[in-house]
Amino acid sequence: MNLRFSSIEGKSRGYYTAVGILALLSIMGCLGFMVSYIKGHQVFGSSNVIPWGMPIVIAIYLIGLSAGLHILAFFIHILGRKEWIPIIRMAVFMAIVLIFGAMVSIALDLGRPEKSWRLFMFFYLNNMTSMFAINAIFYPCYLAAASIYLMMLFADNEKLSKIMGMVAFCWAMLTHGGTGLIFGLIDSRGPWFSALKPFEFIMVALTSSLALLVVVMIVTFYLTRRQAREELVTSLGKLVAGFLCGVILLIWISELSHGYKPDNGASIFMLSGPFSWIFWGFQVFLGEVIPLFILFHPRLRKTVKGVATASVLIVIGVFFERYYLVIPGLAYPQSYFPGKIEGGYGAVGSFPITAIETMISIGMFAFMGFLFILGLKYLELLPVDESGRQTPEPAKKA
């Protein structure tokens, strides 16, 4: 194929402004982390009822956004869908940045992050029956596999790209399944315990990551004065629509299995409890119903704007899906003894939004953006079409 890749020049005022703002926000997040490290987790919204807060929500969200991007590699190398080659480098780079961000985010939620090396002392100082310890194998190896894959893409080595693409793809599935099992294996938490969790996570990952890719591609192409080809966007839109149906199916089977059994308090709590507006409003309506409507609408699904809108909504909806899983999922009070447990021990947990946690959360996203736009400048990620007729036109110098 007559396809070359280039980096952006990155000397415009807009670029420097973006780098500056993202760097500042990242530093702010870093300061937030330092405060939380010195003052302890009292500056977070977490408590003994809801021990995990925003950093964990963000971590599983970022893992989701990253792990699915390799499905493109699968389509390109195994199914021969060559039309997606122009965006594969960007997709893989995004995956690397996001999984790195996810790992940082998990470290930010640790009470004693300086001891996190213990997680990597496999079979010696760590406990391999813990999903955390097993995921400590999955995440770094996934990062490494994706990095090698990107290198092979840079080297234009087709054979090795194919092999590494597959390795990275399989590892991405393991990574995401493993993340789902962190939740799915916990018997004592009614809203979580489910064998479907790994599959649900994989499906959500595929959907949200492709949706994010659509958004990032359109924004990046627009800002670098490339043209996002309509067929490319709409074909990705079709993939997203398919995966979104899978997500809805799995989530509802999971809810049904929780709600059908006699002990269905957890399911009722999740579907109609005090937090359920997040589920119905953000996750279902904003993140599933509207995007599905757009992606199956005969006219809208064929427009860049339509697919882009649906993708933005999915990216937002999946964030709330993660939030809803972690925070209300933990807020459901445990039944230690039959009857109504009086006082705080039987009350639904609350999760106040705190300044430091918000700083860290914004800082995390800014850090991802910062790494990504640096990558655009220093790595040849964006496609150049020499014919200049279709995607994308050679970047015009600003």
Partner 1 sequence: MVIDLDKCVGCQACSTACKAENNVPHGSPDEQRLRRDIYWNKVIAVTNGKYPRVNTELIPMPCMHCDHAPCVTVCPAKATYRREDGIIVQDFRRCIGCKYCIVACPYGARSFNSKEQEEEEYHRHDLPPDRNVWGQWPFPTRTHGVVEKCTFCFHRIDQGIKEGKKIGKEVVPACVEACPAEARKFGDLDDTRSEVSSLLSSRGWIRLREELGTRPKVYYLLK
Backbone angles phi, psi at 5, to 5 degrees: -120, 150
Identify the helix (H) or strand (E) that includes residue 195.
Answer: none
The nearest distance, CB 333 to partner 1, in angstroms, is 9
Contact in structure between 211 and 310 (CB atoms under 8 Å): yes
Interface with partner 1 includes 262 (CB under 8 A)?
no
- Of 60, 95, 330, 368, the one binding partner 1 (CB under 8 A) is 330
- Please say which residue, 76 or 266, places its beta carbon nearer to partner 1: 266
The mark string for 166-195 relative to partner 1 (x by CB under 8 A, - otherwise) is ----------------x---xxxx------
Residue whose CB is less far from partner 1, 16 or 345: 345
CB count within 10 Å of CB 32 equals 24
- Residue 155: alpha-carbon gap to chain centroid: 27
Contact 57, 86 (CB under 8 A): no
What DSSP letter does each residue of 28-96 carry, written as one string? HHHHHHHHHHHH-GGGSS--SSS---HHHHHHHHHHHHHHTTHHHHHHHHTS--GGGHHHHHHHHHHHH
- Residue among 4 and 39 whose Cβ is closer to partner 1: 39
Separation CA 246–CA 240 (nearest Å): 10
Question: Are 50 and 355 in contact, with CB atoms under 8 Å apart?
Answer: no
For residue 261, state whether it binds partner 1 (rule: CB under 8 A): no
CA distance 175 to 118: 20
Residues 11-50 that bind partner 1 (CB under 8 A): 37, 39-42, 44, 46-49
Nearest approach, Cβ of 250 to partner 1 (angstroms)?
Answer: 22
Q: At closest approach, how far in Å is the CB of 47 from partner 1?
A: 4
Q: Which two tokens stand for residue 358?
A: 């918000």
Is 148 among the residues that bind partner 1 (CB under 8 A)? Answer: no
The angle subtended at Cα 234 by Cα 228 and Cα 239, nearest 5°, is 125
Residue 202 Cβ vs partner 1, minimum distance, rounded to whole Å? 21
- Helix, strand or coil for residue 250? helix
Binding mask 364-393 for partner 1 (x = CB under 8 A): ------------------------------
Taking the least distance from each CB to partner 1, the nearer of 25 and 50 is: 50
Residue 231, exposed/middle/buried by CB under 10 A (0-12, 13-18, 19+)? exposed
Nearest distance from C-beta of residue 341 to partner 1, angstroms: 5
Is 219 one of the binding residues for partner 1 (CB under 8 A)? no
**DSSP label at 302?**
G
Nearest to 44 by CA among 35, 183, 345, 116: 35
Q: Which of 132, 222, 252, 378 binds partner 1 (CB under 8 A)?
A: 132
Amino acid symbol at 390: Q
Region of 131-139, 152-160, 196-204, 365-373 interacting with partner 1 (CB under 8 A)? 131-139
Number of residues that bind partner 1 (CB under 8 A): 52
Binding mask 220-249 for partner 1 (x = CB under 8 A): ------------------------------
Separation between Cα atoms, residue 133 and residue 119, nearest integer Å:
6
Q: Binding partner 1 by CB under 8 A: which of 52, 199, 279, 320?
A: 52
Minimum CB distance to partner 1, residue 180 (Å): 15
Contact flags string 340-369 toward partner 1, x per CB under 8 A? xxxxxxx--xx-x-----------------
Decide: helix, strand or coil at residue 384.
strand
Residue 172 Cβ vs partner 1, minimum distance, rounded to whole Å: 22
Work out the angle at residue 330's Cα, subtended by the Cα atoms of residues 328 and 332, and round it to the nearest 5 degrees.
75
Give least dist CB 319 to partner 1, A: 21
Q: Tell me the three state secondary structure of residue 389.
A: coil
Q: Does 394 bind partner 1 (CB under 8 A)?
A: no
Binding-site string for partner 1 from residue 270 to residue 309, where x marks contact by CB under 8 A and - marks none = ----------------------------------------
Touching partner 1, residues 105-124 (CB under 8 A) = 109-113, 115-116, 118-119
C-alpha to C-alpha distance for 101 and 199, rounded to whole angstroms: 22
Chain residues binding partner 1 by CB under 8 A are 37, 39-42, 44, 46-49, 51-52, 109-113, 115-116, 118-119, 125-127, 129-133, 136, 182, 186-189, 330, 334-346, 349-350, 352
